């Protein structure tokens, strides 16, 4: 009879089974990033714990894409913070159309366009900037980050005429062009849920466009991405956006002609490697 154990695990001389997981020599680097590195292996596969964590992150990313934006709660939170609000919707009638027809998410519904035009006719003057909070591909991001970020940014905008915050559903970035045009905004800033990653289901993107109008291209915008406490912190993102807003107003443009040199200035501390802007 063989003395070898039936289990593939080999026992040490004290009789304690060895771990079936082979640790990766880069394991110590994992504390510096949320990326899936140095997970180790069990035989020819992943260990159980990292595999379950991956499945959970995948489910959270899928949920973020399909979660509807609670516009009533977001409007209440914005108004409690001192912002005037308006609602808008894209031409996409539901989430399925939104995901399959990106073009519909870039155009306002007829009802929303009429409502915004009516509101513009009652405004005493053209706003310097209009903010749009949009669900995009992660309503969770808009719900979690838009209000605290705008509250942080507003402290830096002395002397700016800020228009109403427009809460937009089934929205793509370019929906802000039509909104800004109807409200006669000098600049429109779209805060939108970014495509979820497997470590960031709640990443907020910020896009600003000078003299918004339907037909603007992505080359005519600037973007700040990964805004969230675990990425680019609110203070740091507000600092960058404030810089870009001032430069856009001075140069009368955004996009490829507007370079972000804010990193050369004193800036609030953010997580290393978390800043991505273009």
Binding residues for adenosylcob(III)alamin: 173, 194, 223
Residue with tokens 């070898």: 4
Alpha helices, DSSP H, located in the chain: 48-66, 71-80, 95-100, 102-105, 110-122, 139-154, 175-182, 234-251
d(CA 85, CA 25): 53
Question: Comparing C-alpha atoms, which of 175, 204, 171 is closest to residue 188?
Answer: 175
* Helix, strand, coil in percent for the chain, rounding step 5: 40, 20, 45
Question: Comparing C-alpha atoms, which of 128, 256, 238 is closest to residue 180?
Answer: 128
Question: Comparing C-alpha atoms, which of 69, 172, 89, 83 is closest to residue 130?
Answer: 83
Provide the angle, in degrees to the nearest 10, between the axes of the packed helices 139-154 and 71-80: 10
Q: Is the Cα torsion angle 174, 85, 94, 99 positive or negative in sign?
A: positive
Are 125 and 92 in contact by the 8 Å Cβ rule? The answer is no
Question: Comparing C-alpha atoms, which of 225, 226, 258, 228 is closest to residue 243?
Answer: 258
Are 21 and 47 in contact by the 8 Å Cβ rule? The answer is yes
State both tokens at 66.
């399909």
């Amino acid at each position: 009879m063989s003395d070898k154990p039936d289990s593939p695990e080999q026992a040490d001389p004290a009789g304690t089974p060895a771990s079936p997981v082979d640790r990766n020599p880069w394991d110590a680097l994992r504390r510096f990033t949320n990326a899936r590195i140095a997970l180790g292996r069990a035989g020819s596969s992943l260990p159980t714990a990292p595999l379950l964590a991956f499945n959970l992150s995948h489910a959270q990313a899928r949920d973020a894409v399909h979660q509807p934006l609670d516009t009533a709660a977001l409007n209440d939170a914005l108004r409690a913070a001192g912002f005037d609000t308006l609602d808008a919707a894209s031409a996409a009638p539901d989430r399925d159309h939104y995901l399959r027809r990106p073009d519909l998410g870039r155009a306002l519904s007829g009802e929303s366009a009429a409502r915004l035009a009516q509101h513009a006719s009652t405004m005493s003057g053209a706003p310097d900037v209009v903010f749009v909070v949009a669900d995009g591909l992660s309503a969770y991001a808009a719900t979690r980050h838009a209000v605290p970020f705008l509250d942080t940014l507003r402290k830096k905008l002395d002397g700016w005429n800020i228009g109403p915050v427009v809460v937009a559903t089934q929205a793509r970035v370019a929906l802000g062009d039509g909104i800004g045009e109807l409200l006669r905004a000098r600049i429109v800033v779209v805060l939108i849920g970014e495509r979820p990653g497997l470590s960031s289901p709640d990443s907020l993107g910020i896009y600003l466009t000078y003299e918004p109008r339907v037909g603007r291209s992505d080359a005519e915008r600037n973007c700040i991405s990964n805004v969230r406490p675990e990425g680019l912190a609110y203070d740091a993102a507000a600092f960058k956006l404030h810089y870009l807003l001032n430069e856009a107003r001075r140069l009368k443009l955004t996009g490829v002609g507007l370079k972000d040199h804010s990193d050369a200035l004193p800036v609030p501390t953010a997580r290393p490697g978390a800043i991505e802007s273009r």
